[in-house]
Structures are given as structure tokens and as C-alpha cells.
Chain A
């Protein structure tokens, strides 16, 4: 199963995805973050939130693109969702496949370890005493995941736990399934 998913991700990456220069991508993202830092007076908490919101807005659109490219139907369990997020989602949009690990006992929480983060190439956080502790530079990814999963009725909490930019050993995103959203019912029809 896992192999098939990987194969599908690779195929889509090769045949259906338009590529852009990765430096262009990295530098564009970098300039967005640095501009946000300036605009928000280096309040990194606010920058994180802003990046998350931007990511969320990307995610709720990206999911349609994802469904069109992959033609997938609904997952049968959350473990499959994790595989697909990593091996197809990250693969076709960023050409990386994060490692899925640290499953919780109830199979509702997992971690994605990003060995390679194209958003953060060339980046070194400023040495102003706060950035290293407060800024999640790639927080946009959490927003994207949150938005995209929510659109397929998976209400999740997505947060960064570690980031190599902060001096941690790995870059880790934690995804926790809160609930499966129910179909909405027409108003006055409850």
C-alpha cells in the first residue's frame, strides 16, 4: 500500500506538476517572511499567526488542485491520510517526502520529520535574542496542512515542535486529529 502511494506520488510529480526554480521559490518565501517581520515590528508571535493564516488560505485552495491531480478517493483511516500527506502531498508540491513517525497510541497524532525543507534553504534566523526562540519560520506549512485537511472534513491541529533553524536536531511538525467534521445540514433542517 505504502509503495503504491509512493509510486503514485512520484508519477504525478514527474508528469502532472509544473515546476518552478526552487531558488525563486525559496527567496520569494524568504522575502515574505522578512517583510512580515518588519511590518509586525518583529513580534514573532504575530508573524507565526500571519504565516499560519496565509497557509490556511492556500490550503483550502490547494486541496482542490490536489484532488484533481491525484484523483484519490477518501482515506480509510488516519494512517493512510498520513502516508498520503507525506508521499503524495508534500511530494507533488514540494518534492520532499517527510518521514512519518511518533504515532500516538490512539493513532490520532503523528509527526512529520522534514529532513529537507525547501522553504528554509539559505536561511539563518536573526540573532536578536527572540527569533531563535519564537519564530517558526516555515509556519506556513502548518496552515496549509490545516486548511487542506479541514476541507476534507478532518479537523486537525498542526504545529511545529522543532526546527533545525532554531538549532534543534530535526524539523518536526505534529499533526493531531481533533475530530471528523460532520456533513453540514441545510439551515432549519436539524
Chain B
């Protein structure tokens, strides 16, 4: 399982959409890097909420791979396409939608990204002195243009990041082995978000605190998009 969860934050720093596909379990390693330790505290909670799902996928693994000690990859190839579909369906059904928008995990995730973004900008910017508005205008921009945060990773996961000029932030948490998914995040903004949120006149685009995207079409199309990627199950 390679795509763990997907998050959207608006320009007021609120999480307006959260979708968990499968819990992030710390199976890969125990010796986590410095950045991980700050976050691993949150992983047990993530996995607890979905322990049922976790168990069922373990059982499935045991049934189909009874006679050998396959890696997950070869195990998957032995599954028929229908059972892959079943598995995708199961993950989609068991995952949570907008369940933990306001909890600490969500806030920490945002905070981490927010700080990293700040750091990456301040490292390249001219020393902060009294600047006129015009200078702010350009420093602001050259930075965003040339030095935007793309992703960060630890031993257990990788967080891909895309920010629009309108201040929306799209994040996806995946397995660390995954290629860069920034283009996919951009695709979600330009096709899915635009079509089902912006062009949907009855769906607001300025979210107040605790308001979330609960639009079925958006949820379905984003689910279909992520589960259609070869990386979704790997």
C-alpha cells in the first residue's frame, strides 16, 4: 500500500478535506530519522482508527501466500485483477473521510509543512531588512517561483506538497519509495477541485473554520484518480 492519505488545506490554514486510504504503520524500520520522531507519535493513533482494515489485509496476505514467504510485490502479482479491484474497493470503503480534520495529526502535518516552506524561503532570500512594498512583491515571488517545497520524506513515509497561487495546499502522504507526485496534486487542483468545487456554484470556495468539502462527486473523482494510479497498491 503506497498512498496513505490525502489532505487539502485552504488559505486560512484549515484542513478542508482529509481522506485516509490506509493507516501508516511503522513496519519498515524502528530507527527513524530526526524528522520522523516528531511525527511517529501520531502514527499509532492513525493505525488504531483503522485497525479493522489492518487485520483484514493481513489475513488476506496469509491466505494467498500460504506456501511461501513472498514479498508484497510478488504477492500482488499473484492476485487476479478482480481481487486487486476488490482490495482497492475495500481500502476505499474502509478509509475515513473528513474524520480528523481538526486533530493534532492534521495540525502537526500542516505545521511541519508550513515551517519547512518558511525555512526554504528564508534560506534563499536576502537578509530581511526594512523593505518597501515593491521589494516585498518581488522577493515574495522570485522565491515562490524558484524555491518551492516539493516534498519531504522519512524512512516511513513521504509527504508530497503542492501549493496554488490562491493559497490552497494539497498534500499526499505516501510510501517513501514513490516517485514525485506533485504533478498529480496539480492535476487534482486543476481538474477535480476546479470541476467539482469551484464550478459547483452551490459549494463554497471560502471555507469557514470546521467547514469541509463534503461534495460526493469530488470525493468520488479524487478516489478514482488516486486508486487508478499504479502506485495505489504496490
Given contacts A64-B166, A64-B194, A64-B198, whether A74 and B140 have CB atoms under 8 Å apart is yes
Residues of chain A with a CB closer than 8 A to B110's CB: 186
Q: Tally inter-chain residue pairs, CB-CB below 8 A.
A: 73
Contact across chains for B167 and A64 when beta carbons are under 8 A apart? no
Binding stretch for chain A, among B35-43, B61-69, B131-139: B131-139
**Complexed CA–CA distance, A180 and B134 (Å):** 9
Count residues of A near B (Cβ-Cβ below 8 Å): 28
Residues 53-88 of A, flagged 1 when their CB comes within 8 A of B and 0 if not, give: 000000011011101100011111110000000000
Interface members, chain A 170-184 (any B CB < 8 Å): 177, 179-180, 183-184
B86 touches A (CB below 8 Å) = no
Q: Are A187 and B13 in contact (CB under 8 A)?
A: yes
**Assuming the A-B contacts A60-B206, A73-B144, are A152 and B166 also in contact, with contact meaning beta carbons closer than 8 angstroms in the complex?**
yes
Interface of A is mostly: loop
CB distance from A109 to the nearest CB of B (A): 13
Contact A189/B111 with A73-B144, A74-B144 known, Cβ cut-off 8 Å: yes
Residues of B in contact with A, size category: 20 to 34
Decide: B166 and A151 in contact? CB cutoff 8 A: yes
In the complex, residue of chain B having the shortest beta-carbon distance to the beta carbon of A75: B141
Q: Which of A75, A179, A184 contacts B11 (CB 8 A)?
A: A184
Q: Does B164 contact A (CB under 8 A)?
A: yes
Could you list which residues of chain A lie within 8 angstroms of chain B, going by C-beta atoms? 60-61, 63-65, 67-68, 72-78, 107-108, 151-153, 177, 179-180, 183-187, 189
